[in-house]
Amino acid sequence: MKNVVLTISYDGTDFSGFQRQSGERTVQGVLEESLSLLEGEVPIVYGAGRTDSGVHALGQVVNFYSKRDLPESAYLKGLNNILPDDLKVKQMKVADDNFHARKSAKAKEYHYWLRLAQTPSPVGLKTLWISEPLAVEAMGEALEHFRGSHDFSGFRTTGSSVVSTTRTIFNTSYKRLGNLVVFSMIANGFLYNMVRIIMGTLLDVGRGKIAPDEIPLIIESKDRQKAGATAPACGLYLYKVYYEHDVFCVEKNNQLDQKQIKTEQFTSNLDIKDYIT
């Protein structure tokens, strides 16, 4: 048995999220069905992030166990020829048996893209179109207040159940590229819809409804009603998943304590070329 690891990218527009659902088109479901044509059986695919319906990915990481000794080309060429146009494999390697795409992950990086223009664009990068003026610099200032370890109870969808609502955001940044603006967040984990609610709150800042220095009080309140609306999924990308070692060189029984992680390990890459190559 080989522990096969794939880095995949997808346009989430026509997927009902990552996780397999009966009667729905999902990333996991399509990937498992396509892999079965190579593997001779349907493998169980484990994903690093369970992206929601409409959310995209540039660097989603998955792993599964294969009984076949297939070459890299079987996945980069053969599997990509089977997969639909909105889901493709970028990289394939073999990891140690103990590697798990989700459980071995130490941090995830999400990007959210806005297009500030009078009219929307039907082609190119998937973004949230904003036709009204936004105070982008104020949004960037507000974004910095989310850094650190906080109880993000007020930034999750009601009804989601987790053991702890405390998460650590290691790094945040934003960049303007013409009429595009991209916001980046790197954390040890995100609550359900957390990134989209943070973005909804930043949009309220940009519209002058919330002052940047109000963000710490909103976080401290743990009150969902004080945060912004949940921003649409269309502008959100899972950009990268971070591991202790290179994802394809994972050592057995060598777990990194989250307390040992330093913020400087995680530096956002906001280069648009990654989205067009």
Domains of the chain, earliest start first: 2-103 (3.30.70.580), 107-238 (3.30.70.660)
pLDDT > 90: percent of the chain: 84
* pLDDT in the model for residue 268: 66
Residue 30 to residues 15, 22, 25, Cα–Cα distance (Å): 9, 12, 7
Average pLDDT for residues 103-121, to the nearest whole number? 96
Confidence of residue 244 (pLDDT cuts 50, 70, 90): confident
Confidence of residue 147 (pLDDT cuts 50, 70, 90): very high
What tokens does 251 get? 């050592």
Confidence of residue 175 (pLDDT cuts 50, 70, 90): very high
Q: Which residues are catalytic?
A: 52
pTM score: 0.91
Of the candidates 152, 151, 148, the residue with the CA atom closest to the CA atom of residue 187: 148
